[in-house]
Every structure is written in structure tokens, then in C-alpha cells.
Amino acid sequence: MRPSVLATRATFPDLADRLREHFDVDDNPTDAVWSPAELIRRLQGKQGVMSTGSERIDAALLDACPQLRAVCNVGVGYNNVDVAACTARGVLVTNTPDVLTETTADYGFALMMATARRIAESERFLRRGEWTKTGIYDMFVGGDVHGATLGILGMGRIGRAIARRGALGFGMRVIYHNRSRLTAEAESESGARYVDKATLLKEADHLVLVLPYSPQSHHAIGAAELAQMKPTATLTNIARGGIVDDAALAQALRSGTIAAAGLDVFEGEPAVHPDLLAVPNVVLTPHIGSASVQTRRAMAALTIENLIAALGCGRQAGRPPTPVNPEVLAQA
Ligand code: 8YV
């Protein structure tokens, strides 16, 4: 019997065909975000799920879907998945590292530049029809990116790719803080110098967040951290909502504690904190860091290869390319 898979988002037609070559597929043509109960209902009888960050895969769901064998997340981050609960039940979890690194780094850099140079704010001004005079010293005068100090919190693959852009492309001084320090070789390749978190906050002109979400990184940037930053500094978050305390950030933007912020991720997204919508000095985008055609295709294709290897029979079965909990494969 062919395995059944739930795809929680409709993917590119040719890739959906590849999925259908191997599985009976149920997908979500409307892209609606399902409630936990609806997700459990749709997962009944399915052996695999092609999930996104919007679906919470937890112990309660796994217990309600005991036939589930593989949770294949379209994304490098998998904080939406309770990996320990999956491992305990022999459910394989996979993600999509590497294929999105450069695209997400491009976006982090673009959002940081849009924030520093006040691009969104000035575009809103123009669209409102308010460009009736040209004050060259006070109209949307931002801060420079080239030659400034770039601070990076979280120095995984994407952090290192952003560091390279800053150091090599824009002549920036790059400092970073991370749970563990990079090797001397990786530091020199990224052009970045390790500092403690207090120094990072104090010295960064543009602080970019690229760390994974975990209970330890919850509100890693809150009122106390924002107060340590320069009043001219910008903050860019392309990592996960919840790493920044959004209410505290809105307050810091209102009161001039920092100059501006660029946010691609939010606590409780797709809902956005109303205070953030009300401040002008913030660029808000709907979690599109990896959203290039090439990269979203590569992410979907890698997820499908993970599913085929995890659930395929005979010659199709193999080692999934990017397992998060490979210990499950050893148990099988
Ligand atoms: C995805 C992401 O858009 O890879 C990640 O961790 O946040 C994004 O690339 C998201 O996971 C939706 O699947």
C-alpha cells in the first residue's frame, strides 16, 4: 500500500507531482492555517507530514496520530516540533538546512539596510502624497551601513553568511556573540570577532538576530537589552518571533531608545503586536526571509526527498538527507 502524506501548504505543481508519484497526498490549496484539532483530523491515517513553522507538532498530536512516521519540516528552524516527543515515539524529524542560507542572508542584509536607510518609512510617506517639499537635512536621514559596526547574535550558517556580506562587501567591522565561539578559521573566513553579549549590545550600530528559538532564547532582546544599545542603533530580526519582546521593542522605538527596527518574524505570527503597527520607525515583513523562487523550490524538493527516503519502500527507502533526530533511523 502506498503511504499517505499531508502537505500543509500547496507546493509548486511539478514538485507536487513528484510527491504524488510516491504517496497518496492530501494538501491545503487555500494555505489556511489549521487549528490543532483540524490538523489532527487531517493527519488521521497519514504516515508523513510536510509541515511548516505554522504547525505545532507536539506530544498530544503525536498521541492522536499514532501511525505518523515522519515529520518533514519545510524550513531550517524546527521549534514548532517537539523533537524529544517525536524521538520517543520513533517519529523521524527532518529540516532544510543549507539550501536557504544565502537567500536568507541576502534578506537579512536587505532588511537591515532598509531599516538603516529608512526605505519603508519614506515609501509610505511618498504614497501618502506628502512629498511636497525636500528637506535635505531632515527628510529620512538614516545611518550608514558601510563602515559601521555590524553585530550578529547567533553565528550559525546564516549568521556567518551575513557576516561575510558585511565584512567583504560593505567594509563593516563585524562582531558576534554565540553560545559557542567559532574556530579561528571560521572567524577569519567570516571576518567576525567574538564578543560577550553586553559588548555586542553596546557596540553594534546594526544588530541582526539569527539565533534559533528555544526557551533559553525567549526574549533574548527585551527592555533591559534594548536599553544597552546605542540610541542610533538598528535591530533586525530574521530569526524567530519570541526572541524579541515585541511590546518592549515597540516602546523602545517610540521613546527613541534605539533608532529603528526591521522585523520579519513576530511573537504569535501571523498576528502582529498592535503597538508595532503604530510606530513609524519599523519595517515589517511577513516572514519572507527564504522566499526566493529558487530557494523555496529547493526547500520543498529537499523535504520531498526526506519524505521519500523516510517512507519509501524497497529501493526508494534510504537515508533521509537532512534528519534532525538520526537516532530514530538507528532504532528502525
Ligand atoms: C520558512 C524559516 O519560511 O527556515 C526557516 O526556519 O523560518 C523559513 O525559511 C518557514 O519555516 C516556513 O516553512
Tens digits of residue pLDDT in 91-147: 999 999 999 999 999 999 999 999 999 999 999 999 999 999 888 999 999 999 999
Cβ-contact 26, 42 below 8 angstroms: yes
C-alpha cell at 235: 535591530
Largest CA distance in the chain: 71
DSSP codes of every residue in 217-234: GTTSBSHHHHHHS-TT-E
CA atoms of 241 and 272, how far apart (whole Å):
10
pLDDT on residue 206: 99
What b/e string do you get for 194-232 counting C-beta neighbours within 10 Å, with b at 16 or more? Answer: ebeeeebbebbbbbbbbbbbeeebeebbbeebbeebbee
pLDDT on residue 150: 98
Q: Which atom of ligand 1 is nearest to the CA of 73?
A: 13
Residue 238, phi then psi, degrees to nearest 5: -115, 15
pLDDT on residue 33: 87
Whether a cis peptide bond, with omega within 30° of 0, leads into 280 is no
What would the 3-class secondary structure string for 243-270 be? CECHHHHHHHHHHCCCCEEEECCCCCCC
Mean pLDDT of 162-166: 98
CA atoms of 142 and 148, how far apart (whole Å):
12
Among 223, 76, 253, 258, smallest CA distance to 151 is for 258
The finding on whether 53 has its CB within 6 A of some atom of ligand 1 is yes
Q: Which residue's C-alpha comes closest to atom 13 of ligand 1?
A: 52
pLDDT on residue 41: 97
Q: Which atom of ligand 1 is nearest to the CA of 78?
A: 6
pLDDT on residue 96: 98
CA atoms of 243 and 22, how far apart (whole Å):
38
Q: Which DSSP state fits 215?
A: G
Q: Known catalytic residue: 157?
A: no
Residues 6 or more apart in contact with residue 84 via CB below 8 angstroms: none
C-alpha cell at 320: 533521509
Q: Which residue's C-alpha comes closest to atom 2 of ligand 1?
A: 75
Cβ-contact 212, 79 below 8 angstroms: yes
Tens digits of residue pLDDT in 183-218: 999 999 999 999 999 999 999 999 999 999 999 999
**Residue 16 CB neighbour total at 10 angstroms:** 15
Q: How far is the CA of 147 from the centre of ligand 1 (A)?
A: 31
The finding on whether 77 has its CB within 6 A of some atom of ligand 1 is yes
Please report, as a single letter, which amino acid is at residue 252: A
Banded pLDDT at 315 (limits 50, 70, 90): low
> Of 160, 177, 240, 273, which is the active-site residue?
240
Mean pLDDT of 56-80: 98
C-alpha cell at 147: 563602515
Q: Known catalytic residue: 269?
A: yes
The finding on whether 75 has its CB within 6 A of some atom of ligand 1 is yes
Q: Known catalytic residue: 206?
A: no
pLDDT exceeds cutoff 90 at 305: yes
Percent of the chain exceeding pLDDT 70 equals 98
pLDDT on residue 203: 98
Banded pLDDT at 72 (limits 50, 70, 90): very high
Banded pLDDT at 312 (limits 50, 70, 90): confident
Mean pLDDT of 259-273: 97
CA atoms within 13 A on the CB side of 179: 9
pLDDT on residue 90: 97
CA atoms of 92 and 324, how far apart (whole Å):
8
Pairing of strands 234-237, 206-209: parallel
> Of 187, 225, 267, 269, which is the active-site residue?
269
Tens digits of residue pLDDT in 218-258: 999 999 999 999 999 999 999 999 999 999 999 999 999 99
What b/e string do you get for 102-134 counting C-beta neighbours within 10 Å, with b at 16 or more? Answer: bbbbbbbbbbbbbbbbbbbbeeeeeeeeeeeee
Mean pLDDT of 296-309: 97
Percent of the chain exceeding pLDDT 90 equals 94
User: Structural domains in the chain?
Assistant: 4-97+293-331 (3.40.50.720), 101-284 (3.40.50.720)
pLDDT on residue 331: 78
CA atoms of 165 and 31, how far apart (whole Å):
34
Mean pLDDT of 52-60: 95
Q: Is the ipTM of this complex over 0.85?
A: yes
Please report, as a single letter, which amino acid is at residue 205: D
Give the bridge partners for 235, in sequence order.
207, 261
